[in-house]
Structure 1
Amino acid sequence: MELELRHLRTIRTIADAGSLTRAATALGLAQPALSAQLRRIERALGGELFERGRHGVRATALGELVLERTRVVLPAVSDLQQEAARFAHARREPERLRLGGTHGPLLGALVDRLADAAPDTAVTTSASWSERELAEQLTEGRLDFALAGTCGSAAPPGAEQLVWREIAVDPVLVMLADGHPLARAREIELAALADQEWACVPGDGCFADCFTAACARAGFSPRRMYETDTASCVHLVRVGRAVGLCRASFPATPGIAIRPVTGTPLVWRHLLGWHAAAQQPDTAATVLDQARSAHAGLVPPAHRVP
């Protein structure tokens, strides 16, 4: 494995947090995933970076060496990225917007709105299932705006360098095959789905952990989770292989029933992000307003979180 800047940021976060648990929370990762990532980094650097103990972690001699370098490298790279983004923005044609998004119809709806609001602006899009990757592209000046999201009140990726504004908050709904026994219910208790398998799109935030916790509160552990692309999720639901999880902005789909979960145990915050140094305030305000309008046009009032 080649060492990357994100690995240095991970090491810095662990050292600042003083424990893997707190660092995992700050990074939006599950602790086992962070531990596995740290082991890969340590193998790449040739030794242990932290001593683990009951009260947290402490840097080894090798860890202190690496941390000393991060204090120089990370600020220097951050300054370079910001200067490059400002330079690129100053030279960029003003009639172009580069939008990124995770998945789903909100990105398409925003493009449609911007086509009317800014007819002389060329809009290009780039999709990624990784919110963290989108944040990196904003930081590096490769995107102008990104549609991403977080589970509940979790911090968005790159929050210390980027501006994130809330578009809306959706309940997480379930998708069932039209022939499912619960497909005609007005709403569904999560516990009523305890014997089901599940399908959702992938992500690198805390959604999987939040879903598992919601299931635990309902008295069961999910049997299996298929993390795959949207079209595959729809297929698995339509053929009865799994129950799907989706946002309220998910469009009506033949053969699929979309129903709320009693008590709204899971919510999803739609966010619009940008780099403040690379965007004019009026441009950001226009795109944010159009994103909120796009969401309002997609989500029925009955499926909105107050």
Structure 2
Amino acid sequence: MDLEVRHLRALCAIADTGSLHRAARQLGVAQPSLSTQLRRIEQELGGALFVRARTGCRPTPLGSLVLSRARPLVAEMRSLVSEARAAATGGPELRVGSTASKALAGWLRRLRARGQDPTLHMNVSPNALLRMVADGQLDVAFVHEVEGSPLRIPEGLRLRTLMEREPQFVYLSADHPATAHPVVDVGELAGDRWMIDPTVDGEWDAVQRMFRGAGINPHVLHGDYHTATALVATGEVVTVCQPTTLSHPDMAVRRLQGDPLGVRLLLAARTETDLDGALPALEEAYWDSAHQAPAYREWLEGEGAGGCAGHAVPGTGPPLNAFQTPSAYRSTILIAGFKSATF
């Protein structure tokens, strides 16, 4: 067996995610297929590359050695492909990474309208996306940081905050009794089955903290949010959702009393230039999505008026905190050996 770039990419994905399951999702392959591929790579190299434990996969000394050589090779190959495509099309390619977001389509559309050529890489793991930016595999990444579960920010990344605290709402079947009111107390949902995706960094812990705070212990199923949405429509489960999620005839979005769940929305890049080029389009797309979501718009005009990072709510007149220009965004750089500096 000859080692190829795809094999090295698989090893990097396993190391970055710490899990064969998550790595398989990132690579878009079945987990059994990735496990088989890893065994063949280990046979070719003559030893185990990862220790498999209940808490996940971590590199062995041999694995660390291989990864130290594999990462620059993978990054160099990505750069080669990116530069070749740019030369062929006559313009620069912007490699965009993102967790799921209703603003994503509008962001990409606006980037193209500005003359950029974005390509998209989706991942449920914000930490994996940040590592890809740091390694030169992506130019920018739009990620969320679950409250109470800080992200692992690689040194040298620049960050800008789109939303300091975005509340998370709940998705219910349209005929659920709790939909009779615009705001739902989580205690009302103690008897429901919840579906949560445990592969989303920090999500499981945050939901469990919410349950403990409410003094409830509902039945929780594991599953991705595409599956959860389908089951919400039939009344089988309830689930957490982004506030920009829209209600449908068979599904309803409701705010949670006291906003017990929140995330911080961040844009990450290696340079200020990349941030300046990508952020305005993202901001426009995000607030367009917010404008179209009635429950979120109501929250922004009420409880959220003091904490939405100073952005204007589309269609509501002046910005909430008169804070709009790109130069006014908070920018953070993490420097080796020093605390993060905010300016």
1:36 to 54, 67, 79: 54
| Residue identity in the other structure for 1:103 | A
In the alignment, which residue of structure 2 is the partner of 1:185?
181
In the alignment, which residue of structure 1 is the partner of 2:331?
none
Q: Please state how far the C-alpha of 1:88 moved relative to its aligned partner.
A: 8.6
Distance 1:189 1:128, change over 3 A: same
**CA contact under 8 A between 2:211 and 2:217: conserved in structure 1?**
yes
Q: Please state how far the C-alpha of 1:121 moved relative to its aligned partner.
A: 1.8
Distance 1:265 1:296 in 2: 22
Distance 1:136 1:111 in 2: 21
Deviations 1:91-147 (Å, cap 9, x if unpaired)?
88353212111213221121122233x1x2222212122223222321222221111
Q: Please state how far the C-alpha of 1:8 moved relative to its aligned partner.
A: 7.8
1:110 to 107, 110, 116: 107
Matches within 5 A, 1:134-283: 134-152=129-147, 154-168=149-163, 169-230=165-226, 232-276=227-271, 281-283=272-274
In the alignment, which residue of structure 2 is the partner of 1:286?
277
Percent of aligned positions that are identical: 21
**CA contact under 8 A between 1:175 and 1:257: conserved in structure 2?**
yes
Q: Please state how far the C-alpha of 1:85 moved relative to its aligned partner.
A: 8.6
Deviations 1:60-83 (Å, cap 9, x if unpaired)?
xxxxxx59x97x998888888899
Distance 2:289 2:17 in 1: 37
Distance 1:104 1:201, change over 3 A: farther
Q: Which runs of 5+ in 2 are unaligned?
A: 1-7, 19-51, 291-295, 308-343
* TM-score where L is the length of structure 2: 0.62
Q: Does the alignment pair 1:101 with 2:98? A: yes
* TM-score where L is the length of structure 1: 0.68
Q: Which runs of 5+ in 1 are unaligned?
A: 12-33, 46-65
**CA contact under 8 A between 2:147 and 2:263: conserved in structure 1?**
yes
**CA contact under 8 A between 1:150 and 1:156: conserved in structure 2?**
yes
CA-atom RMSD in angstroms: 3.4
Distance 1:9 1:229 in 2: 22
In the alignment, which residue of structure 2 is the partner of 1:48?
none
Please give the secondary structure, in 2, of the residue aligned with 1:270: strand
Distance 1:150 1:99 in 2: 18
Deviations 1:135-191 (Å, cap 9, x if unpaired)?
232122222111111111533333424222221132110011111111121201111
Please give the secondary structure, in 1, of the residue aligned with 2:183: coil
**CA contact under 8 A between 2:92 and 2:117: conserved in structure 1?**
yes
Distance 1:215 1:174 in 2: 13
Distance 2:278 2:134 in 1: 18
Distance 1:203 1:214 in 2: 18
Count of aligned residue pairs for this structure pair = 251
